């Protein structure tokens, strides 16, 4: 490699690194990212992962992505470590593409292919956040390099690496299953160059990587009597959606959705994308021509492998057995740009020097414009990330989490209450995100849409943005205790996360006490209520104390509004504060919204009680002798 070529390669890698590694705070971070980061952090702490995060088809994903993300977290237990790790693997993929194109098609092909991968908008986006499928490019490029070394150069021992990279890719994300079909086709086409001993070794080694996950699935099968799956597609059918999606991911189409509907895009954006996609299509055509014309040449056989690699995911999803999404085609991006580089290198080698200078100048301009499209979109996102699909950046969420950590360290608080949209990290986004960002800290999750929790001990409260509020939001209850809030604003609007230290027993004054406080069979005591907003706004509060110890059960409240004749005129049920989070001394205010009729025969009353969910088994009210005395408490509300 000459100094000039080395300088070109380093420049391309530096460019790829800058756009993938700069501003780790300006990256997406949602529920899947949070759950994956939590699992990786737990593994970096020594808890071996047998499974990955849950998938849309019912089964959990394999733990490979968890294992990989745990590697940087062992060194630096911070969300940026995993984020930058994703970007570094993206840079490795760019380097691998350069090596592969350079080896068989020359410097021109290598520079073109690596540059296209370095500046492709979707390739950059999918290299800038913690997401399982974002790990794929480096491993599928490794799969392709090992394939070429095995089948083209007949270095048969590389078949082990070829099969191992395939196994890793499939376990990173099931979308890579298309590479299994590609591998089978290559094994058939190049069967005379396959040493079956190395194939067996590769399969055995790959199987070993899958043993923990297979053991988990078997244990779950035995415990549950089966494995529940959902396809998300009731009637499989033939569709060209895969062709449209792979065209979008290669050209950069659709990236504007991250910036929102009011984003006007970049000048001549459509023309730039068309030129980009045209070069990819030309590359695929060049591969077919090359294979037909000189099938025995290494360059043609390499083109064949890349063409199979490109077309495999499209072929798998032409029969739409599950809805395809754009990220299912991440693994095909390097293949497309390799073929584009191949045809570009071929054309550049056949023209005179003046034409070559013009052609390369045009390529540099178009590449720079593609990069500008991404940069312009990200500038808009930085100003108003909530306008489109990008969402609140990792940096803002991390600042709020760090603010809560500081208060926990600087005060006598013993836990952080994560109060926002939902209280189940496995089902809702907000708790999933902050469980990861506050890893290692004592946490409890409060569904701000329907409850507020006030511990008997000092605590820190982290409040979600007001976008999480609904008609029964309990945000105002946390504003009653005096104290200063630290705000962490989201650019482009009035939304902000809020953090404050809350003293012990900071419960707002009970509006109406229930005397004596009824005791339920699950040791819950109903201590008061607030009906001041019931008839006007339909808002009804119940004050209660949970049992002194956590309860594995899941409970719901029922609230029946009765008129003066005892007729039920409105009803609402809702989840109680989760039993596993109960602590001694807690006071919980559960808030409900009822559709109260405009006219109500006096005097009204409210009948309330609890039941187990999902069994709908009533929780009895106990009398003084601890005997069941009914299923509900009826509270007169007056006129």
Mind giving me the DSSP string for 175-221? GGGHHHHHHHHHHHHTGGG--HHHHHHHHHHHHHHHHHHHHHHHHHH
The answer on pLDDT for 344 being more than 60 is: yes
Among residues 451, 455, 482, 448, the alpha carbon closest in space to that of 555 is found at 451
Within 8 A by CB and 6+ apart from 572, the residues are: 540, 558, 559, 592, 593, 594
The answer on pLDDT for 57 being more than 70 is: no
Q: How much of the chain exceeds pLDDT 90, in percent?
A: 85
Tell me how far CA of residue 22 lies from CA of 19, 116, 488, in angstroms. 6, 19, 22
Where is average pLDDT lowest: 83-92, 180-189, 232-241, 607-616?
232-241
The answer on pLDDT for 608 being more than 80 is: yes
Where is average pLDDT lowest: 52-56, 179-183, 289-293?
52-56
The answer on pLDDT for 193 being more than 90 is: yes
Q: What is the CA radius of gyration of the chain?
A: 30
Tell me how far CA of residue 19 lies from CA of 120, 135, 369, in angstroms. 10, 16, 14
315, two tokens: 């072929």
pLDDT for position 252: 94
Run of H or E residues at 417: strand 416-420
Q: Where does the pLDDT of residue 238 fall: very low under 50, low under 70, confident under 90, or very high at 90 and above?
A: confident
168, two tokens: 């890793």
The answer on pLDDT for 600 being more than 90 is: no
Sign of the four-CA dihedral 461, 464, 470, 471: positive
- Burial (CB < 10 A; 0-12, 13-18, 19+), residue 322, is middle
| Torsion angle in degrees (nearest 10) through CA of 107, 329, 317, 57 | 150
Q: Cβ distance 578 to 554 under 8 Å? A: yes
The answer on pLDDT for 230 being more than 70 is: no
Q: Where does the pLDDT of residue 289 fall: very low under 50, low under 70, confident under 90, or very high at 90 and above?
A: very high
Where is average pLDDT lowest: 105-114, 202-211, 265-274?
265-274
What are phi and psi for residue 386, nearest 5 degrees? -85, -5
* Range 121-124 contact pairs with CB under 8 angstroms and sequence separation of 24 or more: 121/252, 121/255, 121/370, 121/373, 121/374, 121/377, 122/248, 122/249, 122/250, 122/252, 122/254, 122/255, 122/326, 122/333, 123/90, 123/333, 124/19, 124/20, 124/90, 124/374
Within 8 A by CB and 6+ apart from 186, the residues are: 147, 151, 305, 308
pLDDT for position 481: 66
Q: Where does the pLDDT of residue 160 fall: very low under 50, low under 70, confident under 90, or very high at 90 and above?
A: very high
CATH superfamily placement of domain 516-636: Immunoglobulins (2.60.40.10)
Average pLDDT over residues 485-490: 95
For residue 411, the 8-state DSSP code is S
pLDDT for position 233: 52
The answer on pLDDT for 597 being more than 80 is: yes
Residue in this structure with the two tokens 């299509």, named with its chain if needed: 281
220, two tokens: 């779950």
pLDDT for position 98: 98
Run of H or E residues at 345: helix 333-350
The answer on pLDDT for 237 being more than 90 is: no
- Burial (CB < 10 A; 0-12, 13-18, 19+), residue 71, is middle
Among residues 597, 617, 599, 601, the alpha carbon closest in space to that of 609 is found at 617
pLDDT for position 164: 98
What are phi and psi for residue 76, nearest 5 degrees? -145, 110
pLDDT for position 229: 58
Phi-psi region of 503 (alpha: psi -120 to 50; beta: other; left: phi over 0): beta
For residue 455, the 8-state DSSP code is -
Q: How much of the chain exceeds pLDDT 70, in percent?
A: 97
pLDDT for position 224: 77
For residue 518, the 8-state DSSP code is P
The answer on pLDDT for 1 being more than 90 is: no
Please write the tens of the pLDDT for every residue from 531-572: 999 988 999 999 999 999 999 889 999 999 999 989 999 999
Average pLDDT over residues 120-133: 97
| CA geometry: angle 601, 575, 604, nearest 5 deg | 10
Within 8 A by CB and 6+ apart from 346, the residues are: 105, 109, 286
Higher pLDDT, 315 or 599: 315
pLDDT for position 130: 97
In this structure, the chain runs to a length of 639
Q: Where does the pLDDT of residue 283 fall: very low under 50, low under 70, confident under 90, or very high at 90 and above?
A: very high
What are phi and psi for residue 562, nearest 5 degrees? -110, 145
Q: Cβ distance 283 to 311 under 8 Å? A: no
* Beta-ladder partners of 571: 560
Q: Where does the pLDDT of residue 273 fall: very low under 50, low under 70, confident under 90, or very high at 90 and above?
A: very high
User: How are beta strands 539-545 and 525-530 bridged, if at all?
Assistant: antiparallel
Q: Where does the pLDDT of residue 166 fall: very low under 50, low under 70, confident under 90, or very high at 90 and above?
A: very high
Average pLDDT over residues 101-126: 97
SS3 call for 161: helix
| CA geometry: angle 98, 187, 113, nearest 5 deg | 15
**This prediction's pTM:** 0.94
The answer on pLDDT for 320 being more than 90 is: no
Please write the tens of the pLDDT for every residue from 401-449: 999 999 999 999 999 999 999 999 999 999 999 999 999 999 999 999 9
pLDDT for position 536: 85
- Using CA atoms, how far apart are residues 249 and 276, in angstroms rounded to an integer? 11
SS3 call for 87: helix
pLDDT for position 393: 97
| CA geometry: angle 612, 615, 619, nearest 5 deg | 30
Within 8 A by CB and 6+ apart from 489, the residues are: 396, 495, 496
Q: Where does the pLDDT of residue 65 fall: very low under 50, low under 70, confident under 90, or very high at 90 and above?
A: very high
- Using CA atoms, how far apart are residues 315 and 284, in angstroms rounded to an integer? 15
129, two tokens: 């956040």
Higher pLDDT, 239 or 82: 82
3-state helix, strand, coil in the chain (%, to 5): 50, 15, 35
Please write the tens of the pLDDT for every residue from 380-399: 999 999 999 999 999 999 99
């Amino acid at each position: 490699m000459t100094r000039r070529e080395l300088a070109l390669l380093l420049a391309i890698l530096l460019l790829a690194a800058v756009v993938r590694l700069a501003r780790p705070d300006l990256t997406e971070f949602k529920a899947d990212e949070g759950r994956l980061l939590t699992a990786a952090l737990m593994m970096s702490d020594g808890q071996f992962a047998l499974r990955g995060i849950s998938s849309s088809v019912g089964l959990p994903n394999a733990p490979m992505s968890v294992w990989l993300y745990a590697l940087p977290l062992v060194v630096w237990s911070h969300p940026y470590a995993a984020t930058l790790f994703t970007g570094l693997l993206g840079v490795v993929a760019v380097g691998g593409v350069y090596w592969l194109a350079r080896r068989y098609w020359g410097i021109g092909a290598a520079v073109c292919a690596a540059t296209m991968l370095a500046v492709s908008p979707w390739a950059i986006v999918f290299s800038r956040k913690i997401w399982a499928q974002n790990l794929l490019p480096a491993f599928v490029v490794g799969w392709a390099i090992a394939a070429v070394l095995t089948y083209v150069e007949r270095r048969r021992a590389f078949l082990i690496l070829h099969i191992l990279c395939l196994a890793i890719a499939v376990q990173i994300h099931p979308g890579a299953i298309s590479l299994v079909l590609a591998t089978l086709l290559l094994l058939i086409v190049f069967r005379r160059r396959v040493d079956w001993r190395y194939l067996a070794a590769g399969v055995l080694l790959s199987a070993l990587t899958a043993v923990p996950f297979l053991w988990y699935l078997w244990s779950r099968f035995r415990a549950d009597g089966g494995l529940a799956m959902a396809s998300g597609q009731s009637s499989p059918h033939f569709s060209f959606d895969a062709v449209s999606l792979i065209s979008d991911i290669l050209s950069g189409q659709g990236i504007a959705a991250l910036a929102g509907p009011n984003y006007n895009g970049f000048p001549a954006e459509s023309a730039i994308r068309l030129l980009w996609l045209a070069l990819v299509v030309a590359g695929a055509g060049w591969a077919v021509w090359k294979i037909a014309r000189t099938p025995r040449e290494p360059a043609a056989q390499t083109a064949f492998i890349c063409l199979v690699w490109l077309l495999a995911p499209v072929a798998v999803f032409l029969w739409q057995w599950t809805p395809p999404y754009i990220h299912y085609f991440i693994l095909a991006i390097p293949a497309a740009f390799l073929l584009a580089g191949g045809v570009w290198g071929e054309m550049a080698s056949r023209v005179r020097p003046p034409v070559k200078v013009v052609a390369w100048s045009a390529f540099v301009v178009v590449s720079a414009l593609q990069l500008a499209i991404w940069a312009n979109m990200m500038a808009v996102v930085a100003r108003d990330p909530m306008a489109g699909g990008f969402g609140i950046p990792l940096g803002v969420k991390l600042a709020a989490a760090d603010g809560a950590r500081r208060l926990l360290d600087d005060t006598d608080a013993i836990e952080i209450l994560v109060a926002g949209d939902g209280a189940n990290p496995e089902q809702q986004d907000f708790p999933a995100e902050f469980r990861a960002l506050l890893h290692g800290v004592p946490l409890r999750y409060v569904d701000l849409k329907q409850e507020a929790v006030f511990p008997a001990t000092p605590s820190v409260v982290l409040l979600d943005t007001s976008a999480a509020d609904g008609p029964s939001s309990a945000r105002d209850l946390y504003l009653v205790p005096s104290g200063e809030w630290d705000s962490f604003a989201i650019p482009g609007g009035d939304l902000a996360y809020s953090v404050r230290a809350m003293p012990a027993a900071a419960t707002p004054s009970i509006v109406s006490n229930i005397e004596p406080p009824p005791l339920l069979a699950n040791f819950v005591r109903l201590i008061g209520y607030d009906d001041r907003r019931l008839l006007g706004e339909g808002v009804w509060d119940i004050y209660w104390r949970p049992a002194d110890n956590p309860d594995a059960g899941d409970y719901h409240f029922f609230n029946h509004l009765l008129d003066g004749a005892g007729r039920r005129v409105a009803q609402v049920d809702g989840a109680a504060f989760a039993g596993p989070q109960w602590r001694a001394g807690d006071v919980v205010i559960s808030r409900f919204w009822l559709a109260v009729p405009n006219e109500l025969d006096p005097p009204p009353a409210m009948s309330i009680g609890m039941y187990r969910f999902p069994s709908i088994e009533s929780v009895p009210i106990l009398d003084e002798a601890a005997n069941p005395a009914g299923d509900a408490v009826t509270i007169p509300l007056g006129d």
